Amino acid sequence: MSQQSAWKEALRLSMPVGMGYVPAAIAFGVLMSAAGLPWWWAVLLSLFLYSGAAQYAAIPMLAAGAGVAALSVNTLVINLRHIFYALPLLQQLPKRHIKRWYALFALTDESFSLLTTLPQQTAQKLFVKIVWLNQMYWVVGTVIGLGIGAGLNDLIPHLDFALTCLFVVLAYEQYQAKRVWWPCVLAVLAFSIARFVSIDYLLLLAVGLCALGILLWQLRSSKRRAA
């Protein structure tokens, strides 16, 4: 596969992600403007943080003047799930260090879902191209949202729900592709238990319980294969 054809294929495969990313990123840019935050903060967040959920969560914290420590802990908790994303894709990661580090940095939920549905050889060839294109969709959407400005937030309330919708569609598409039901059940159970235990630490507890559940499931599967 030539470089030109590889880019065309990566563009074709990533377009559905872009259709979700651009509206969600536009909403992020609009909400940043509505919060009265500098436009270049939004651009830097999309370039160097590049985590939709963490970026949305950072808006009220930045507007309230939260410190670096609080923002860092919040981002860490929200992105804990990313620890598991690279494990099924180790064989597909680029060999060159710079590309490998960027691939790990840019491996979002949507990119992970797309790459895990591709044959291993195809995923390895297109890995960096797909994650780069997906980030560019997000950056472009952010810039468009900043250009539109805060007025859209008054016309269309609850723009931050756009990211939730994107995650729901992503979860449905992933289930359709893989037909694996237990992660959905685990997520619902983890959220329910965390909500019962503590509302204040809901996200941290839910993510922690999901991580524990995944580890226990993999341990159980390993024992079955060994037997």
The sign of the torsion formed by the CA atoms of 48, 112, 193, 168 equals positive
Is the model more confident about 86 or about 13? 13
Measured CA to CA, the distance from residue 74 to residue 204 in angstroms comes to 9
Burial (CB < 10 A; 0-12, 13-18, 19+), residue 120, is exposed
Which of 81-90, 162-171, 215-224 shows the lowest mean pLDDT across its residues? 162-171
Residues sharing a CB contact under 8 Å with residue 46, sequence separation 6 or more, in sequence order: 25, 28, 55, 135, 138, 139, 142
Residues 140, 4, 11: CA angle, nearest 5 degrees: 35
pLDDT at 222 over 80: no
Supply 23's token pair.
């509206």
Residues sharing a CB contact under 8 Å with residue 24, sequence separation 6 or more, in sequence order: 52, 138, 141, 162, 163, 166
Which of 101-105, 111-115, 168-172, 201-205 shows the lowest mean pLDDT across its residues? 168-172
Is the model more confident about 32 or about 156? 32
Q: Where are the alpha helices (DSSP H) in the chain?
A: 3-34, 39-44, 52-63, 68-78, 97-105, 109-115, 120-148, 151-155, 161-178, 182-197, 202-226
The sign of the torsion formed by the CA atoms of 137, 140, 143, 147 equals negative
Q: Is the pTM of this model over 0.85?
A: no
How far out from the chain centre does Cα 196 lie? 26
pLDDT at 217 over 80: no
Biggest distance spanned by C-alpha atoms of the chain: 62
Residue in the structure block whose two tokens are 């009265």? 36
User: Which pLDDT band, with edges at 50, 70 and 90, does 100 fall under?
Assistant: very high
| Amino acid 179: pLDDT | 74
User: Which pLDDT band, with edges at 50, 70 and 90, does 91 fall under?
Assistant: confident
Measured CA to CA, the distance from residue 163 to residue 52 in angstroms comes to 7
Burial (CB < 10 A; 0-12, 13-18, 19+), residue 117, is middle
Is the model more confident about 169 or about 104? 104
For 118-143, what is the mean pLDDT?
94
Q: What is the DSSP string of 91-130?
A: GGS-SSHHHHHHHHHT--HHHHHHHTTS-HHHHHHHHHHH
Quick one: what percent of the chain has pLDDT higher than 70?
Answer: 87
pLDDT at 157 over 90: no
Is the model more confident about 11 or about 206? 11
